[in-house]
Structure 1
Amino acid sequence: MAGTLTMLVLAGVLPDFRLQSASGDSATVIGVTAAAGAGAFGLLSALVWPLLVRAFLLVPALVLGLLVFFLNGSLLWLALSLVPYGRGSTDPTMAVVVAAAMSAASSATNAFLAVRDDRAYRRRLARIAVRRQRREGREGRAEPPTTPGTVFLQLDGLGYEVLKEALEAPEGGEPLMPAVAALYGRTHRITRWRTDWSSQTGASQLGILHGSNQDVPAFRWYEKETGEVVVSNRPTSAAELQRRAMERTGDKGLLAQDGASRGNLFTGGARQVALVLSVAARRGKETRSRAGYFAYFSDPANATRTAVSFVAEVVREMVQSTRALLRRERPRVGRGGLYPFIRAFATVVERDVVVAAVLGDMLSCRTAVYADLVGYDEVAHHSGPRGRDTRQVLRRLDRSVQLIAKVAARAPRPYRLVLLSDHGQSFGETFEEAYGLSLEELVRAGSGLQVPRRAGRTASGSEARAAARAALRRPEECGQEVPRKPDRDRGPVVLASGNLGLISFPDVPGRLTRERIQELRPALLPTLTEHQGIGFVLVRSARHGPVVLGAGGCERRLLTGEVVGPRDPLAPFGPGAAQAVLRTAQFPHAPDIMVNSAFDPATGAVHAFEEQVGSHGGLGGEQSHAFLLSPLELSPPVEPGEELVGAQAVHRVLRRWLTESAEPRPVPGPAPLATPGPAKNQPLSPAP
C-alpha cells in the first residue's frame, strides 16, 4: 500500500514518470498500474536484491553504498517494464529518484506499523529469527534458551563524568540521553573504572576482550627487533596483538562461547564477526568481517536510509565546522579533507551496520555480543568531549541504545544489556598550538639535530578512520613504517598517542638507560623535563630501575617510591598514577623515553601531541575515567569502597557475569548500589 501511494504521488509531481498511456487512462486503471508496478518492484527487491548485494560484496563496502541508488533504480525500471499494456514508464535517472523515495516510504511505514502494533512486531521478529537460524544451520535448536544472553555495548570514548552529565535532567527538561537515564533510574547501576596508563581503545579493548593488554604501551609504538611501528588500529597489527594476548592467556577470549564481535578491533574469540579489524585483512569463511555489510545492505530500504543520512551528516559537519571557524572557537584543529566523510562513516554507516548486527544477534539467541559504537569518540577528537556537535552524537547514540533495549525485551531469549566505555577524553589545545612546535621538533632540538621547517606529524589515531579504510578494502595505511636499517642521522623515532609521546633510538639495540641517554644526548632529558608543556618523563636507570623525571630536578623512583627533590612529578596526576606508570615501564616493548604532557588539575586540560582537541592515550583528566553501567540483577563489579582498575580487571568482571548468566540465581546487591537514578536537578551519586 505504501509503495502504491508513493508511486501515485510521484507520478503526479515528476514530469518524466508516468503511470498511464499517452492518451490517458481512468483513475482505476492508473491505480491498478501503480499497484502492479509497486508489487513487481517489491517482488524483485525481495528476490533479486540480496543476490545483487552478495555479488557486489566483491567491491568495497562504501562503493556498494553508492551503487544502492543505481541498483534500486534498475529494479524499478525493470518492474515498470513488466506492467501490462506498457502504461508505466520512466527514464533511468528518474527511476533512481522514484526507487529511493519508495524504499524510504516503505521503511518508514513498516517502522510506524511495528511501533503501533506490538503483536505484529513480535511476529516479524520471530520470522526474522527463524530465517537467520536456518541460514546458519541452527534448526536443531528447537526452543530458545531460557538462560539470559548478554549484550555488551561499548560507547567508545565516553567518559564517566560526561555520562553523568548526560544523565542529569536540566531545569524543566529531560536528560541528554533519556533512554540510558531510564536504565540507570530503574534497572542499572553505574560504576567508574580507571584505565591503564595507555588510555586508548587498543589497550582497553584488548584487555577487556582477551584478558591481557600486557606489552601494549600506547596506541602505536616502535619495536626495535623488527624496525616497524605497531599501530593498534592497523589490521595486521591488531591480528598480531590478538595472537600475543591469546598466547599469553591460553584462552580464546570473552566471546568464545557462542559469541559475536561487532565493530571492534579484536574478535574476543567470537566466530561471528562483522567490521572487526583484526580479521579485516583476511579472507575466508572463518573471517568474514565484511559480512555485516551484506546483512544490512541486503534490505534496500536500509541502504537508502543510510545513504541519505550519510550525505546529511557530511553536510552537517561542513556547516558546523564553518560555524566554529566564523566564531573563532578555540582550541581548534583542522576539520577539512576527508574528515567530514570519516565522521559520517562513524556516526551513520558503522553505527547502522553495527546496531543491525546486534539486533540480529539477539534474534538468533547468541549468548554474548560485544559491539563498539565509535561515533562519539571520532567527533569528540575534533569538537571536544562536551561540544555542541558531540551532544548531538550522544542523542543519536541514545536512540540506538533505546532500540537495542526494546528489541532485547522482545527477543526469543531474555537479554541483559551492559553499557561500558573503554576510556574517556580530556580537553585542551594541542601541544603544537600551545607552544609553537611539535614534540618531534622539541626532541630533535634537544638532541642537537637540525629541526626541519615542518617535521612529519603522526597521523591521528582513529578507529573510525581504520574501519573506513577496511570498508574500502584498503586496510593497511602506508607511511607508518620506519626503515629496517635506520639512518643514524635520521634521529630518534618520535610517536604520539594522544598526550603520550614515545621516543626510541633505532640505531641502538635494546632499551637505553638514563645514563646512556645522557651520554649520547646530554641535552635531551633536560630539554624535555624543563619544558612547560611536559608533565613528566619516564626512563630506565641502570641503578634505580624505572624513574619518573620532572622539572627542577625532581624525580620519583618507582620501585622504591622514593621522591628526590621538592615534589613528586606524578602528584598532579592523582592516586594510582605511579602504579600505572610502573606497570608500563616493565613492558618489553616500552620505548627508551616516554613523555606525558602537562596536566592542569584545575581545568582538566592536557596537550595532545596529535591534532586533537579531545584526546586520550596518556594520564591526566577525564581520559582515564571510563564507566560500566550494569544490571542490578548481576553481582556488583566491585565491593563498596573498592576501585575497579585496569581493562584486565574489567575482563574478569564480564567473565563473572557471563558465568552468572549461564547458571541464573538471585544475586543480591548492596543497598547503596541499588538506589534509584537521579531526580531532576539532583546530582548523581558518587562512583563506588
Structure 2
Amino acid sequence: MGDGRWRTAGSALMRVIVVWGVSTITLLALAGILPDFQLQSDDGDSVTKTAFTAAWGAGAFGLLSALVWPVLVRALLIVPAFVLGMLVFFLNGSLLLIALWLIPDGRGAAAPETAVVVAAVMSAVASATSTALAVHDDNAYRRRLSRLAQRRRRRSGTGGADGEGPPGTVFIQLDGVGHDVLAQAAADGIMPTVAHWLSDTEGHRLTPWRTDWSSQTGASQLGILHGSNHDVPAFRWYEKETGDVMVSSRPASALELQRRAIVRTHDGGLLTVDGASRGNLFSGGADQLALVLSMAARRGKGRRSRAGYFAYFSDPANAVRTALSFVAEAGREIGQSTRARIRKETPRIKRGGLYPFIRAFATVVERDVVVSAVIGDMFGGRTAVYADLVAYDEVAHHSGPRSRDAEKVLARLDRSLALIVKVAEHTPRDYRVVLLSDHGQSPGETFAGAYGLTLKDLVRAGSGLPVPRRAQRTRSGSEARDAVRTALHRPVAGGEEKQLTKASDPVVLASGNLGLISFPDIDGRASQEQLDRRHPALLGTLANHPGIGFLLVHSERDGSVVLGRDGARIPVAELKDGQGPLAPFGPGAADAIRRTDTFPHVADVMVNSMYDPATGTVHAFEEQIGSHGGLGGEQSRPFLLWPRDMTDPLDAVAAEGGRRAAELVGAEAVHRVLRRWLREVSGPQVPVRTTDAVRGAGDGLPGEEEDAGTGAGG
C-alpha cells in the first residue's frame, strides 16, 4: 500500500474516532440531563466505567445506524412519505434502545419517549461532526466525489475522468414563481443567490416567457419535458368518451398524459440521454427518478419512484433533521394563519385541517429529498437533471403570491440554490445551472368570496337547476334565476324552474381562474345553439356576470366564438388582442384561445374569470387567493434564467426549426430551447424510438433503484 493509501486510511480512521468520541460525550451529557436515561448500574459506577459504557452505547448506536437503518428505510419504501416522516423518530429511538440493550451488564436504560429524544440528538450531533470534518478535509471531499463518479461510470459506461468532457446541465424549476416576483425578490435581497447571478460579474440573463391559456404545471411541464402539451386544456377536465375526469396531479392521469405526448412527438423526452427527473409530474424520459408522479401509477416490484426517499432517508440524521423541520413548518403555518385571522387580512381563505401538514411536506420533505437527489446526480456526473421545487407555489396559493409567508419560502429556496451552486464547485464535471418556472400566480379574492356563490352554483342557477339556499340568497343567484324565468317566459315564484328538455347535470370543473363546463349527455362538443335551446339563460348569465371575463363556445353557424358582456360575440378566427372581451388580457390572448379551441377535449364552455389590469387581480374558481390556470396577470408570465454563454432562447427556438419571434411563447417553445442547450454541449440527443418510449411511459424504466446510493445521504 502506497503512502497515499496509508494517509487515506489513517484520515478515515481518525474521522471515525473523532465522531465516536463526540457521540460518547454527547451520550454522557444526555445521561446527566435526562432523568429517565442512565448509563450506570443501580449501585453506581466509577467515572471510567461510565465512560466505557457511554462509548460502548455510542459505538453500537453508530453501527446500527450505519448498517440497520438503510435496510429499514428500504423495507419501508412502500410507506407514503408523510407516514415515513412520522416513523423516523420511532425507528431511531428503537435503534437506540437496541444499542443500550447490547451494553454489557445491562447498564444502559431509557424510557421509550426519552430514547426518541436521545436518538435524535445523537444523530444530529454525529452528522454535524462528520460534515464539519469533511468540510475541513478537501482531499476527503474530492475522494468521495471521485468514488461517486467512478460508480456512475461503471453503471452507465459513460463519462470521462474528473474534469473531462462537456459540462452537465441542471434545470431547477421554481414552481409558480413569476418573472416579476423573482426579479423583485432578487432586488430586495430576499434571494441573494439569484441577485448574484443577475449581477454583471456573474453574467446570467433573465427573460419572461408566456404560457399557453392553461397556465399550470400539468400543461407547462408536460410541454417542457416532453415537447407537447396538445389537448391539455386545463389542470382538470372531463372526457366524454370515457366519462373520466382527468386531473394532472393524479398519478394515472399524469401517466396517460405522458403516454399521449410521447406518441405525438415520437420522442421519449428531454432527459432520455443520461437524465434524471426529480420531483416532477412527468419523467421527461429519464432513467433515474425520484418523486415523479407519473411513475407512481406503475405497478409491480421496482416500478415505483422511491429511489429518492431511500437515498435521503438512509441517513438517520437527514431523517431526523427533516422530521424536526416538518414539525416546525407545520407550527409556522398554524401561527401565520392565526395571525392573519386576528389581523383580519383580506383576501383570506381557510387554512386549517390537513393543510399545515400538506404545506410542511411541500416546503420541507419534498425540498430536502429533491435537493439531495440533485446533489447526488451532480456527484455522479449525470448529463441532464430536471427538478421541481414546489414550496413557493403551495404557500402562495393560500397566503398570496407577494405575502411575507411566500417571501420567506423564496428565501429558503434561495439557500437551496446556493447549496447546489456550492456543490457544483466540487463535482467531477462542470455544471451549468438553469433556473426557470412553469407559470406565475395572480392574486385576488376567490369568486365565491366576492360573489357568495361558486361557479358551479352560478351554472346550475343559470340552467334552472336547484342550488343551495346560500346561493339563492346572493345577488348573482337571484339574477340568474330571474334570467331563467325571463328566458322561459315562465315567472315561477318560489318553485324550481322547469327545463325545456330533460338533461343530466353539467360537470363544472375549476383550474384556478379557468372554469370548464361539460354536458355529459350531449355527444361531442356542445354548440351554442344546443345550449341556448336547452338552457336559454345560461350563456347570457355567465357572459354578463361581473366576475367573468369571457366564454369560449362552439357555434354551428360561425364556428367557435368568444362571448363577453353586453352581447359581445366574436368568432375565434377574428379575435384580436386588446379588443372586445380580450381588451384587458394583453398580448397573446387571442392566439392562446385559438390554439386551445383546436383541442379534442376542450370543454363545451370554457370560462375565464375577469382580470383587472390596474390591480393585477383575478377571481379563482377554487379556494385560492393566489391562483393560476387561465389568462390574466402574472400567472401567464413565468421566467427563464440562464448563463450568458448559452445561446439566446429566441435564437435557440429558431435553430430548432421554429421561427424567431419577439418573445418566447408556450411551453413547447421552452422545450426546444432546453433541448438546444443540451445539444450544444453534448452533441445530438439520440431520440428514443416511439415504441420504446411508449413502453417506458407505461411500464418500468430501468435503473431507478440503482440510483439510490447517489443521494446526499447515500
> What TM-score bracket applies, with the shorter chain setting the length?
0.7 to 0.9
Q: Counterpart amino acid of 2:257?
A: L
The residue number in structure 1 matching 2:204 is 188
The residue number in structure 2 matching 1:517 is 531
Residues 1:598 and 2:610 aligned together: yes
The residue number in structure 1 matching 2:310 is 294
Write the distance in 2 (CA, Å) between the matches of 1:139 and 1:40: 38
CA positional deviation for 1:131: 5.7
The residue number in structure 2 matching 1:618 is 630
Which residues of 2 match residues 14-413 of structure 1 at below 5 A? 14-130=34-150, 137-138=155-156, 143=161, 146-169=165-188, 175-185=189-199, 186-284=202-300, 287-413=303-429
Identify if the C-alpha distance between structure 1 residues 454 and 43 changes in structure 2 by more than 3 Å, giving closer, same or farther.
farther
Q: Runs of 5+ in structure 1 lacking a partner?
A: 170-174, 456-486, 665-688
What SS class does the counterpart of residue 339 from structure 2 fall into? helix
Write the distance in 2 (CA, Å) between the matches of 1:286 and 1:75: 27
Tell me if structure 2 keeps the 8 A contact 1:160–1:625: yes
Write the distance in 2 (CA, Å) between the matches of 1:380 and 1:558: 33
Identify if the C-alpha distance between structure 1 residues 407 and 284 changes in structure 2 by more than 3 Å, giving closer, same or farther.
farther
What SS class does the counterpart of residue 645 from structure 1 fall into? coil
The residue number in structure 1 matching 2:711 is none
The residue number in structure 1 matching 2:586 is 574
The residue number in structure 1 matching 2:10 is none
Normalising by structure 1, we get a TM-score of: 0.87
Higher share of residues assigned helix: 2
Identify if the C-alpha distance between structure 1 residues 79 and 339 changes in structure 2 by more than 3 Å, giving closer, same or farther.
same
Tell me if structure 2 keeps the 8 A contact 1:556–1:562: no
Q: Runs of 5+ in structure 2 lacking a partner?
A: 1-20, 472-500, 652-659, 685-714
What SS class does the counterpart of residue 358 from structure 1 fall into? helix
Write the distance in 1 (CA, Å) between the matches of 2:414 and 2:132: 19
Tell me if structure 2 keeps the 8 A contact 1:208–1:650: yes
The residue number in structure 2 matching 1:422 is 438
Q: Counterpart amino acid of 2:611?
A: F
What SS class does the counterpart of residue 539 from structure 1 fall into? strand
Identify if the C-alpha distance between structure 1 residues 330 and 140 changes in structure 2 by more than 3 Å, giving closer, same or farther.
closer
Q: CA RMSD in A?
A: 2.1
Write the distance in 1 (CA, Å) between the matches of 2:383 and 2:527: 49
The residue number in structure 2 matching 1:536 is 550
The residue number in structure 1 matching 2:515 is 501
The residue number in structure 1 matching 2:677 is 657
CA positional deviation for 1:143: 2.9
Per-residue CA distance 1:396-428 (angstroms, 9 max, x = gap): 111111111111221111111111000000000
Write the distance in 2 (CA, Å) between the matches of 1:597 and 1:26: 77
The residue number in structure 1 matching 2:560 is 546
Write the distance in 1 (CA, Å) between the matches of 2:241 and 2:298: 25
Write the distance in 1 (CA, Å) between the matches of 2:95 and 2:148: 24
Identify if the C-alpha distance between structure 1 residues 86 and 309 changes in structure 2 by more than 3 Å, giving closer, same or farther.
same
Tell me if structure 1 keeps the 8 A contact 2:277–2:290: yes
CA positional deviation for 1:325: 0.4
Per-residue CA distance 1:41-86 (angstroms, 9 max, x = gap): 1111111111111112233332222222222122222222333444
The residue number in structure 2 matching 1:458 is none
Question: Which is further off, 87-96 or 591-600?
Answer: 87-96
Residues 1:585 and 2:603 aligned together: no
Identify if the C-alpha distance between structure 1 residues 127 and 75 changes in structure 2 by more than 3 Å, giving closer, same or farther.
farther
Tell me if structure 1 keeps the 8 A contact 2:576–2:582: no
Question: Which is further off, 247-256 or 639-648?
Answer: 639-648
What SS class does the counterpart of residue 309 from structure 1 fall into? helix
Tell me if structure 1 keeps the 8 A contact 2:278–2:386: yes
Identify if the C-alpha distance between structure 1 residues 273 and 202 changes in structure 2 by more than 3 Å, giving closer, same or farther.
same
Write the distance in 1 (CA, Å) between the matches of 2:222 and 2:470: 35
CA positional deviation for 1:265: 0.6
Number of residue pairs the alignment of both structures matches: 624
CA positional deviation for 1:164: 0.6
Write the distance in 2 (CA, Å) between the matches of 1:503 and 1:34: 68
The residue number in structure 1 matching 2:655 is none
Identify if the C-alpha distance between structure 1 residues 373 and 110 changes in structure 2 by more than 3 Å, giving closer, same or farther.
same
Residues 1:638 and 2:656 aligned together: no
Write the distance in 2 (CA, Å) between the matches of 1:67 and 1:384: 32
The residue number in structure 2 matching 1:444 is 460
Tell me if structure 2 keeps the 8 A contact 1:216–1:587: yes
Tell me if structure 2 keeps the 8 A contact 1:494–1:504: yes
Q: Counterpart amino acid of 1:416?
A: R
Q: Counterpart amino acid of 1:153?
A: I
What SS class does the counterpart of residue 607 from structure 2 fall into? strand
CA positional deviation for 1:228: 1.3
Per-residue CA distance 1:514-545 (angstroms, 9 max, x = gap): 22222221111110111111101111122322
CA positional deviation for 1:191: 1.2
Q: Counterpart amino acid of 1:538?
A: L
Write the distance in 2 (CA, Å) between the matches of 1:634 and 1:438: 47
CA positional deviation for 1:342: 0.3
Identify if the C-alpha distance between structure 1 residues 454 and 103 changes in structure 2 by more than 3 Å, giving closer, same or farther.
farther
What SS class does the counterpart of residue 70 from structure 2 fall into? helix
CA positional deviation for 1:187: 3.4
Tell me if structure 2 keeps the 8 A contact 1:554–1:567: no
Tell me if structure 1 keeps the 8 A contact 2:93–2:115: yes
Identify if the C-alpha distance between structure 1 residues 177 and 368 changes in structure 2 by more than 3 Å, giving closer, same or farther.
same
Write the distance in 2 (CA, Å) between the matches of 1:543 and 1:357: 55
Tell me if structure 1 keeps the 8 A contact 2:151–2:380: no
Per-residue CA distance 1:644-667 (angstroms, 9 max, x = gap): 000000000000000012149xxx
Write the distance in 1 (CA, Å) between the matches of 2:152 and 2:358: 31
Write the distance in 2 (CA, Å) between the matches of 1:653 and 1:542: 39
Residues 1:556 and 2:574 aligned together: no
Per-residue CA distance 1:592-650 (angstroms, 9 max, x = gap): 11110000000000000000000000000000000011111211112598200000000
CA positional deviation for 1:132: 6.2
Write the distance in 2 (CA, Å) between the matches of 1:142 and 1:641: 38
Q: Which has the larger radius of gyration?
A: 2
Q: Counterpart amino acid of 2:336?
A: Q
Identify if the C-alpha distance between structure 1 residues 131 and 74 changes in structure 2 by more than 3 Å, giving closer, same or farther.
farther
